[in-house]
Amino acid sequence: MLGTFIGGIFLLLGAGAAAFAFINPPDPLAEVQFQTTTVYYAGAEPGQPGEVMGTFAEQKREIVDYATLPEYVGQAVAAGEDKTFFTNRGVSITGMVRAFINNVQGKPTQGGSTLTQQYVERYYQNTTKDYWGKAKEAILAIKLSQKEDKAQIMGRYLNTIYFGRDSYGIEAASKSYFGKPAAEMTVSEAALMAALIPSPNNWDPAVSPEKSQQRWGIVLDSMVDSGWLSASDRAAQVFPTTIEYVKSEAYRGPNGFLLEMVEKELLATNLWTSGELRTKGLKIITTIDQSVQQAAVESAEALRTGGLSDGEAPSERLRVSVVSVDPTTGGIVSLYGGPDYLTDQKNTATFDEIQAGSTFKPFTLVAGLQDGIGLSTTFDGNSPQRFPEWEGGTKDVSNFGNKDYGQIDLVKATADSVNTVYAALNIEVGPERSAQVATEAGITTPLNTVPSNVLGADDVRPLDMAGAYATFAAQGVQRTPHVLQVVENNDGTVAWQPDTAGRSVFAADVMADATYAMTQVVEQGSGKAEISKLKRPIAGKTGTSTDNKSAWFVGYVPQLATAVALSQQSEDGRGKDSIQAWGKYSQITGSSYPAVLWSDYMRKVFENPRFSAVQEFPPRANVGGRPTSTATPTEEPTEEPTPEEPQQPAQVQVPGGLTGRTEADATGALQGAGLVASIRSEVSTAVPAVAAGRVIRVEPGEGSTVDAGATVTLVVSSGAPPQPTTPAPQPTQPVPTQPAPEAPPADAAAGAAVPGTRP
């Protein structure tokens, strides 16, 4: 019996030795590296973050270097969890034996684990409860103590464990409890963090202040016992005040639509998965200007609740959209897609497709200008009229209120939104050309190519309309609207940026004339009553669909294009009803509440220093000359338009801050100021050399006063000059060369037509 007993002991010792030899630390659990991705508003400078907009997280965690934390943070945790941590070898034999005896006797379960054993459990292998699991945990703790130093173990432990308030790791916890980084915690605050570890949800001061303070006192006393805190300093400690915890509802309110757009746009790059978005700790800087976004939300909510109509509120089924786009980059500066994403996930700016109404007419105007049909061309503006090409001549085309205008030019027809004139213009240029212009400007929904498309029967999205009018504001350079400005990895390196260079789709002189006609909408036409109150150059267009099922005002200044759209959802949620009138308007047209909302919102935007400068549009270019004949002949002779006085070109300043920017950014800034960029490359002789693709200097210089529409030369670096090399030996005999054949001109070879001329 004795021999069997002794043999059993040796077998156990041998098994233990074998286990120690063969058990090695596994790879860390994947989730210990999970970090929160943070989304920011745009900062004051390009590429710089503003305030936090929201977060994406599987586990809310921000990993910090232990060396950046005050020494007392680790000491407080050791005082609360394992006073011998900094001197033991990873396990406590006495603690394990005491816990084992206590458990065998049926008393309340005890752990007996050192801090290192807790680290093994949470960093490498998840929860372990059986005896074999605890034995394996102890072996790994011993081995890791030999392999990793105490600072590394404590740092990983602090970055891993759960502290309550949905916070993993000391950094996220400090922000959740105290509203500041862990590096700024006081001794008292560090002691509270340590006190929470055994039961964070139950011992949160907001849940159980008495238990929390009791545990806090125990940790401080233990720090005194361990020599990490003097008795006098202990006596001076005051229980810390914590901030109110609001459970995260990242998608609550209007910002939920923005975060959804951020997620969709990020995933569309195909660089990250949805899971990686929530675990990689990315830093996402958006194009959204926080103050402009707040103005959009305030004005839209004021419309919905009656604040813009003397207290009378519209139907609860009214759908409101406000969206602004920066013409120089395509960045979405603000977007109101609804009051609360959690109650309705259909973004009114990106999901809703509603009839464009007369906001579609500028696309036909551009098509006409491209074909040489100038603004002074006159048409028959009487109402009603019939055209053979319009439903076989069987249906009247009528103006709003069936008003007659007589012979008018395209400026007057645009200002007063004369349907009969635009019907005739669309027939002349071809409805497929109007659809083509709309698509080139930025409309992404399918468009019909029938004559009636000029009156806006096609469904479009408000974001697309803002982007299309931004193309006009950018002098014909189309840029795709986007919400991501820059995405950084968690180490601060740039992972992705959008291409904001854009592509030129319309000639600058065509844009100048289209813009001029659209300024008359504000100065003398359907937008005058509300928009002219802003007292600055604004181009835009009202729009109302048949039966008032949609109402728009879309307008722009050189720095910003904004679309406001209203529609009303049917009771079953499957269609559109006519918008119920309310307040002072008997029917809802583009010149009513859409213009009211646009004006109220943009008034606040113009108070923002970024958009406060009054910029002039390029002067009217008079594309196509000044024809004397009418485009739709009538029996009545027409008077030749009275020649206008020549306009003095407006003066503008060359923007500052162009030197050092990328070619695309500097070009966009010039376009936004109504100037034309000319690019010239030059070797950079500066030390250090200016990086290739960035502006070395501007001619004429930044701040110079020039005519609107003038050409400004951007001298762009082609890189540093080449280093001198030893010349290769020259051949003693001349080597004859064969001249390369001259390529024929591309236009001649292709038989290309010259764009912008009338057939």
Tens digit of pLDDT for each residue in 590-616?
999 999 999 999 999 999 999 999 999
> What pLDDT score was predicted for residue 656?
76
Q: For residue 32, name the pLDDT band (cuts at 50, 70, 90).
A: low
Nearest to 290 by CA among 39, 603, 665, 480: 39
Q: For residue 129, name the pLDDT band (cuts at 50, 70, 90).
A: low
358 carries an active-site annotation: yes
Q: For residue 751, name the pLDDT band (cuts at 50, 70, 90).
A: very low
**Between vectors from CA 114 to CA 109 and to CA 120, what angle results, nearest 5°?**
100
| Residue 567 backbone class (left: φ over 0; alpha: ψ -120 to 50; beta: rest) | beta
Tell me the mean pLDDT in the region 735-756: 32
Torsions phi, psi of 322, nearest 5?
Answer: -135, 130
**Strands in 186-340 per DSSP E:** 283-286, 318-325, 332-336
pLDDT at 134 over 70: no
The verdict on whether omega for the bond into residue 700 sits within 30 degrees of 0, i.e. cis, is yes
The answer to whether the beta carbons of residues 579 and 388 sit under 8 Å apart is no
Within this chain, do residues 513 and 436 fall inside the same structural domain, yes or no? yes
Q: For residue 747, name the pLDDT band (cuts at 50, 70, 90).
A: very low
Within this chain, do residues 82 and 224 fall inside the same structural domain, yes or no? yes
Number of compact structural domains in the chain: 3
Measured CA to CA, the distance from residue 667 to residue 131 in angstroms comes to: 70
Tens digit of pLDDT for each residue in 381-401?
999 999 999 999 999 999 988
Domain that holds residue 415: 354-605
Within this chain, do residues 691 and 578 fall inside the same structural domain, yes or no? no
pLDDT at 626 over 70: no
Within this chain, do residues 203 and 127 fall inside the same structural domain, yes or no? yes
Tell me the mean pLDDT in the region 125-148: 64
Tens digit of pLDDT for each residue in 410-433?
999 999 999 999 999 999 999 999
The verdict on whether omega for the bond into residue 734 sits within 30 degrees of 0, i.e. cis, is no
Between 701 and 303, whose confidence is greater? Answer: 303
pLDDT at 2 over 90: no
Within this chain, do residues 232 and 378 fall inside the same structural domain, yes or no? no
Within this chain, do residues 360 and 425 fall inside the same structural domain, yes or no? yes
Q: How far is CA 594 from CA 327, 471, 565, in A?
A: 21, 21, 6
Q: Decide which of 236, 269, 285 is a domain's last residue.
A: 236
Between 485 and 698, whose confidence is greater? Answer: 485
Least confident of 147-151, 182-186, 571-575, 692-696: 692-696
Measured CA to CA, the distance from residue 442 to residue 457 in angstroms comes to: 17
- How many Cβ atoms are within 10 Å of 271's Cβ, its own excluded? 11
DSSP 546-615: GGGSEEEEEEEETTEEEEEEEEEE-TTSSSEEPPPP-TT-SS--TTTHHHHHHHHHHHHHTTSTTT-S--
- Return the SS3 of 354: strand
- Return the SS3 of 423: helix
Measured CA to CA, the distance from residue 307 to residue 267 in angstroms comes to: 38
- Return the SS3 of 414: helix
18-21's contacts with Cβ under 8 Å and 24+ in sequence apart are 19/135, 19/136, 19/139, 20/139, 20/142, 20/143
Nearest to 637 by CA among 398, 380, 419: 380
The answer to whether the beta carbons of residues 53 and 40 sit under 8 Å apart is yes
Q: Could you tell me the CATH number of the domain that includes residue 367?
A: 3.40.710.10
Indicate the pTM of the whole model.
0.69
The answer to whether the beta carbons of residues 288 and 335 sit under 8 Å apart is yes
In DSSP terms, which residues pair with 541 in a beta bridge? 554
Tell me the mean pLDDT in the region 706-734: 65
pLDDT at 651 over 60: yes
Measured CA to CA, the distance from residue 71 to residue 2 in angstroms comes to: 54
CA dihedral 612, 613, 617, 618 (to 10 degrees): -160
Measured CA to CA, the distance from residue 638 to residue 317 in angstroms comes to: 49
For the ranges 7-21, 54-68, 267-281, 585-599, the one whose mean pLDDT is highest: 585-599
pLDDT at 487 over 80: yes
Measured CA to CA, the distance from residue 326 to residue 482 in angstroms comes to: 10
Tell me the mean pLDDT in the region 93-99: 54
- Helix pair 71-81, 209-225: axis angle to 10 deg: 100
pLDDT at 740 over 60: no
Residues 6+ apart with CB under 8 A from 133: none
Measured CA to CA, the distance from residue 491 to residue 560 in angstroms comes to: 34
pLDDT at 718 over 60: yes
DSSP 15-64: HHHHHHHH----PPPGGGG-B-EEEEEE-SSTT-EEEEEEEE-SSB----
> What pLDDT score was predicted for residue 274?
81
Residue 533 within any structural domain of the chain: yes
Read off the tokens for 531. Answer: 């928009």
Q: For residue 3, name the pLDDT band (cuts at 50, 70, 90).
A: low
Residues 6+ apart with CB under 8 A from 5: none
Q: Could you tell me the CATH number of the domain that includes residue 667?
A: 3.30.10.20
pLDDT at 623 over 60: yes
Element counts in the chain: helices (H) and strands (E): 24, 22
The answer to whether the beta carbons of residues 670 and 636 sit under 8 Å apart is no
Residue 706 within any structural domain of the chain: yes
Residues 6+ apart with CB under 8 A from 37: 55, 56, 57, 277, 278, 279, 280, 281, 282, 283, 284
Within this chain, do residues 575 and 430 fall inside the same structural domain, yes or no? yes
pLDDT at 10 over 60: no
Residues 6+ apart with CB under 8 A from 738: none
Residue 190 within any structural domain of the chain: yes
Least confident of 116-125, 219-228, 454-463: 116-125
Within this chain, do residues 371 and 508 fall inside the same structural domain, yes or no? yes
Q: Which of 81, 260, 428, 663 is catalytic?
A: 81
Give just the sign of the alpha carbon dihedral 108, 109, 113, 118: negative
The answer to whether the beta carbons of residues 385 and 420 sit under 8 Å apart is yes
Read off the tokens for 515. Answer: 């813009």
Measured CA to CA, the distance from residue 386 to residue 382 in angstroms comes to: 11
Tens digit of pLDDT for each residue in 283-304?
999 999 999 999 999 999 999 9
> What pLDDT score was predicted for residue 317?
96
pLDDT at 620 over 50: yes
Q: Which of 176, 358, 545, 592 is catalytic?
A: 358
Annotate 722-753 with three-state secondary structure: CCCCCCCCCCCCCCCCCCCCCCCCHHHHHCCC
Give just the sign of the alpha carbon dihedral 52, 53, 57, 60: positive
Q: For residue 479, which amino acid is it? A: R
Question: Mean of the per-residue pLDDT values for the chain?
Answer: 84
pLDDT at 702 over 90: no
> What pLDDT score was predicted for residue 641?
31
Tell me the mean pLDDT in the region 31-50: 89
Residue 612 within any structural domain of the chain: no
Within this chain, do residues 470 and 364 fall inside the same structural domain, yes or no? yes
Q: Decide which of 605, 636, 663 is a domain's last residue.
A: 605
Q: For residue 113, name the pLDDT band (cuts at 50, 70, 90).
A: confident
Tell me the mean pLDDT in the region 302-329: 96
The verdict on whether omega for the bond into residue 739 sits within 30 degrees of 0, i.e. cis, is no
pLDDT at 659 over 50: yes
Q: For residue 377, name the pLDDT band (cuts at 50, 70, 90).
A: very high
Q: How far is CA 685 from CA 658, 698, 702, in A?
A: 18, 16, 20
Distance from CA of residue 687 to its chain's centroid?
Answer: 36
Residue 548 within any structural domain of the chain: yes
- How many Cβ atoms are within 10 Å of 10's Cβ, its own excluded? 9
Residue 28 within any structural domain of the chain: no
Read off the tokens for 471. Answer: 């193309």
Tens digit of pLDDT for each residue in 332-360?
999 999 999 989 989 999 999 999 999 99
The answer to whether the beta carbons of residues 458 and 545 sit under 8 Å apart is no
Read off the tokens for 384. Answer: 């009603």
Q: Decide which of 195, 216, 236 is a domain's last residue.
A: 236
444-452's contacts with Cβ under 8 Å and 24+ in sequence apart are 445/353, 451/387, 451/389, 451/390, 451/423, 451/426, 451/427, 452/390, 452/391, 452/423
For the ranges 100-114, 488-502, 692-706, the one whose mean pLDDT is highest: 488-502
Tens digit of pLDDT for each residue in 526-548?
899 999 999 999 999 999 998 89
pLDDT at 643 over 50: no
636 carries an active-site annotation: no
Nearest to 73 by CA among 176, 168, 195, 177: 195
Within this chain, do residues 107 and 161 fall inside the same structural domain, yes or no? yes
Within this chain, do residues 365 and 478 fall inside the same structural domain, yes or no? yes
Within this chain, do residues 566 and 678 fall inside the same structural domain, yes or no? no
Measured CA to CA, the distance from residue 320 to residue 339 in angstroms comes to: 9
Q: For residue 642, name the pLDDT band (cuts at 50, 70, 90).
A: very low
Residue 33 within any structural domain of the chain: no
Residues 6+ apart with CB under 8 A from 222: 79, 80, 83
Burial class of residue 717 in the structure, from the number of CB atoms within 10 Å of its CB (0-12 exposed, 13-18 middle, 19+ buried): buried
In DSSP terms, which residues pair with 325 in a beta bridge? 332, 561
Q: For residue 551, which amino acid is it? A: A
Tell me the mean pLDDT in the region 203-211: 93
Residue matched to tokens 């936090």: 52
The answer to whether the beta carbons of residues 465 and 473 sit under 8 Å apart is no
Residue 726 within any structural domain of the chain: no
